[in-house]
Structure 1
Amino acid sequence: MSFYDASVPAFLQILGSLSGLLTKAEAHCAAKNIQPEVLLGARLYPDMLPLSKQIQLACDFAGKGCARLAHIDVPSTPDTEKTFEDLRQRLAKTSDYLKKFTPAQFEGADSREVTFPVGPDKTLTLKGQGVLNRFVFPNFYFHAATAHGILRHNGVEIGKRDFLGVA
């Protein structure tokens, strides 16, 4: 399996499922007379990031991770989304961005050194395989699963099949 095939389709699957989760969350808000900003600001614990930021970060890890692996400029993605529709648009833009990548751009990425930020004033350099498996995938899936957990915790009727995008 190519490095491209191991990454881009996996990102696209979950980004698509997150869009579906947001649609169900918005319907839940309408049905239960909940203000959307309440759910968009919901957290699993007070020191964790809210739902909206979980979606933004999942997008960032997919898009920026692929850019770094393909050794191209990392896109700037300001966090301006305030509504379910804004977040679905961000997911769609990220998916469209990922669909422009080609397998050729990922050739040799597994062994190429990649330097990336790991905090405000810190960077880390790893081979591409390590970047994908030890940093990008874990962070991407953490934020996607946390978004799912926030919605489920707040009563949105979703399950594992929704997370996987096969519901």
Structure 2
Amino acid sequence: MTYRDDACITFANTLRTLDGLAARAEAADLGDDALAAKLADDMFALETQFRIALNQVIIALTRAAGAAIPLDETPYGSWPEVRARLEAVRTQVPDWAQKEWLAPDEQVDMTLPNGMRFVMSAQEFVRDWSMPNLYFHASMAYALLRRDGLALGKADFLPHMARYAARPAE
């Protein structure tokens, strides 16, 4: 397996997880106003957690795979909007898994809006920047939904693990 293969599987799994969380919130009538919830005043709102998680996939696909997917910069106003955008990007991931990505050791030079600069290989960029940021923002979305009373458990955060379930050894 290549870093591209691992990344695309992880991206698809996590985007599916986020969609499942949004679907549960919508089904529970959590209300679109829940998208404004924050864990702390200096943290991003739930809507932004979903949007940044999605943008981490887009940034990785843009930098490592040469995709031309624009970042989501417009706030989501409703659960259906969150779900539609997650689905739109998730369905593109398998196509990008078939394309040529940068060589694992090819350099990625990234400067954040605050001026902080990172230089690393393409594989390190995906492994050490994109995936941890995707997981962080997905975890924040999960935590905010739990705090707002949505009955979620680890199985809701890792639904892709169900395909590996086996009976306990006897």
Contact 2:49/2:137 (<8 A) preserved: yes
1:49 and 2:44 equivalent?
Answer: yes
**Pick aligned residue for 1:78 from 73, 76, 79:** 73
Are 1:36 and 2:21 an aligned pair?
Answer: no
Name the SS of the counterpart of 1:134 in structure 2: helix
TM-score (norm. length: structure 1): 0.87
Bigger CA drift: 77-86 or 145-154? 77-86
TM-score using structure 2 length: 0.85
Q: Please state if 1:163 is matched with 2:127.
A: no
User: Of 118, 129, 135, which residue of structure 2 is paired with 1:124?
Assistant: 118
Q: Does the 8 A contact of 1:113 with 1:128 survive in 2? A: yes
Q: What is the identity, as a one-letter code, of the residue corresponding to 2:24?
A: K
For 1:93 and 1:42, the matched residues in 2 are separated by 24
> Taking structure 1 as reference, are residues 117 and 84 closer, same or farther at Cα in structure 2, changes over 3 Å only?
farther
Where 2:74 maps in the other structure, the secondary structure is coil
Identity, % of aligned positions: 26
Report the alpha carbon displacement of residue 97 of structure 1 after superposing the two structures with TM. Answer: 2.5
- 2:20 pairs with 1:20: yes
Check if 1:113 corresponds to 2:107.
yes
1:10, CA displacement in angstroms? 0.6
Aligned 8 A contact 2:64 2:102 in 1: no
Q: Partner amino acid for 1:151? A: L
Residue pair 1:2, 1:103 contacting (<8 A) in 2 also: no
Consecutive unaligned residues in structure 1, runs of 5 or more: none
1:52 Cα deviation after fit: 0.4
Helix, strand or coil at the partner of 1:116 = strand
Match of 2:97 among 99, 102, 112: 102
How many correspondences in the alignment?
Answer: 161
1:142 to 136, 142, 151: 136
What SS does the corresponding residue of 1:85 show, helix, strand or coil? helix
CA contact (8 A) 1:61 1:140 kept: yes
Shift of 1:46: 1.4
The one-character-per-residue Cα deviations of 1:66-112 (angstroms, maximum 9, x if unpaired) are 2211234452432232100001011011112222213441261x211
Kept in 2: contact 1:14–1:165 (CA 8 A): no
RMSD (CA atoms): 1.9
Return the alpha-carbon distance in structure 2 between the equivalents of residues 150 and 98 of structure 1: 26
Residue aligned with 1:119, SS = coil
- Which sections of structure 2, spanning at least 5 residues, go unmatched? 163-170
